[in-house]
Structure 1
Amino acid sequence: MKRVRYARCQCHGDFRCDAPHQSVTMTTEFADSSWRALAHRILTRSDMLRGTAETTLERFVETGRIMKFADANLLSSYGQPIETLLVVLSGALEIGVSTLAGKHFVIAYLGAGLIYGLIPIIDGGGSLYDARAHGEAVVLGIPRDVVLEALRQDPGLAHAFLLLFCKRSRVLYGGASANALAPFRVRVARALASLLPVHGITRGETVTLALKLSQEEFGALLGASRQAVNRELKALESAGVVSLAYSTIQVLDCDALGKIAEFDDGVVRDVSIRP
């Protein structure tokens, strides 16, 4: 049975609606101390929050809501206000956009320790994308007023967020120029390589993508059809670079994948492959 991942708006049945409504979603809030302990470990070990005061991180854990979302459930909708900064504790969030015609483009899959919603939390505007659970996901939702107060009080947090903005901007602008110039096989290799540092599991010389993706979902990362993605993945499999199974990709030769991803378009790139 085909899984329906992009739920329609509850009030009109459209994929995108301008009405001021909240999308219906199934979520469970936890009070389990073990999840709060996990949240504290993730925040204190996060490179993105390096330099943040311990008291700030403790405040985030104490005031945050720990919530579990079922697969494909909507956490935030494009253009709608965001009142909580989302930190992934377990599973993954799919960040993307949909059109009225039902076409879908995925920006990223955020794994444990990654943050979503920082821009709308700071500027008060609507969500830049749709955020959905990819598989079951558990997140920490930190209230907006807590985040804003922490930014005023903790220079270390403000500096960490500035560095995060810089890093994401480099990825965004670098990716846009690279993909405009690169052949499709190179784009496929780069998309796969970009997922491995967060979602890859290393066993010996191979890396397995723990994130379960259909070829249609992988295509949404590239704005391409399932058929086009299938051709390139099959070519990589025939070359001994990857091994394909149902919704699972295993990288057999990281060096070869890296060489394909570093296609010479006149720009020097640092392509990280291994987790």
Structure 2
Amino acid sequence: MKTRAEPLMQALAAVPWLQASGNAVVERLADASHLQHLVDGQTVATRGTQTSHLVVIASGTLELSMTNAQGKRHTTSPLGKGQVFGLIPLLDGSTLIHDVCARGASSIVVVPRDAILSTMEAQPTLAMQMLLLLCQRARHNYEVLAGLSLLPLHVRVVRLLLDLSSSHSSLRIHLTQAALADMLGASRQSVNLELKKLERSGAIAISRGDIEILDSGQLQAIAGS
């Protein structure tokens, strides 16, 4: 018979840096957390508000976005199972950076801030794993920013496809071309042109709302150019 904490522990253990922190960390955080089920379109968090917890995606997908004063909306890469959001505001006490909503039926694990902070003190491995994660994110963000000004669009498209595939552990990416263009800061028409070229070369297959990677080797070669 499953205990209440078992599904929570499984969801937390799917987060690589939490798993690397050790079973004691996962068990302690699971004991303090709760599971929440979401319906499609349900708001999870609002930009500019304070947060008192870390959110771990247990299943489904969460969409992160920002809207400026003129009403223009920018969507970032969607988050799937084993990914988290709210870490930086949780640590520095600042407000949330994104609006967050569920894309399809999803479930999340809500981990209280106090549990995170007390576990960091009791289990230093958690603090070290968080530092490593933040370093990885900083490097990734630097590469993205550099790519916006230095890399041609076709390379940026390929790198984003590979990044999305890796983060969701799937060769099939559930994303519209409009959302992809939004993430790249490019027009839908120009992104569509690059995707069509990749499709003709046999690297990807495009269907409504989906992009499937067929030849990752070809994409890796382009991404490294």
- TM (norm. structure 2) is 0.91
Equivalent pair of 1:105/1:222 in contact (CA under 8 Å)? no
Which residues of 2 match residues 108-123 of structure 1 at below 5 A? 108-123=77-92
Which residue of structure 2 lines up, in the alignment, with residue 169 of structure 1? 138
The alignment yields a C-alpha RMSD, in angstroms, of: 1.9
| Structure 2 unaligned regions, length at least 5 | none
- CA deviations on 1:28-71 (whole Å, 9 max, x unpaired) are xxxxx688423312323532124424333212212212112222
Equivalent pair of 2:11/2:56 in contact (CA under 8 Å)? no
Equivalent residue for 1:192, pick from 119, 136, 161:
161
Which residue of structure 2 lines up, in the alignment, with residue 150 of structure 1? 119
Q: Does 1:42 align with 2:6?
A: no
Q: Give the partner amino acid of 1:132.
A: C
Equivalent residue for 2:152, pick from 183, 187, 204:
183
- TM (norm. structure 1) is 0.76
Q: Does 1:233 align with 2:202?
A: no
User: Using the alignment, how far apart are the partners of 2:177 and 2:32 within structure 1?
Assistant: 39
Equivalent residue for 1:254, pick from 194, 216, 219:
216
Which residue of structure 2 lines up, in the alignment, with residue 99 of structure 1? 68
Cα drift, residue 226 of structure 1: 2.2
User: Using the alignment, how far apart are the partners of 2:127 and 2:80 within structure 1?
Assistant: 23
Identity fraction in percent: 32
User: Using the alignment, how far apart are the partners of 1:64 and 1:50 within structure 2?
Assistant: 16
User: Using the alignment, how far apart are the partners of 2:4 and 2:148 within structure 1?
Assistant: 39
How many residue pairs get aligned? The number is 224
Larger RCO of the pair (alpha carbons < 8 Å, separation 6+)? 2
| Cα 1:66/1:98, change in 2 over 3 Å | same
- Following TM superposition, the consecutive aligned residue runs of length 4 or more in structure 1 with deviations greater than 4 angstroms are 33-36
User: Using the alignment, how far apart are the partners of 1:61 and 1:106 within structure 2?
Assistant: 30
User: Using the alignment, how far apart are the partners of 1:51 and 1:239 within structure 2?
Assistant: 39
Equivalent residue for 1:129, pick from 74, 91, 98:
98
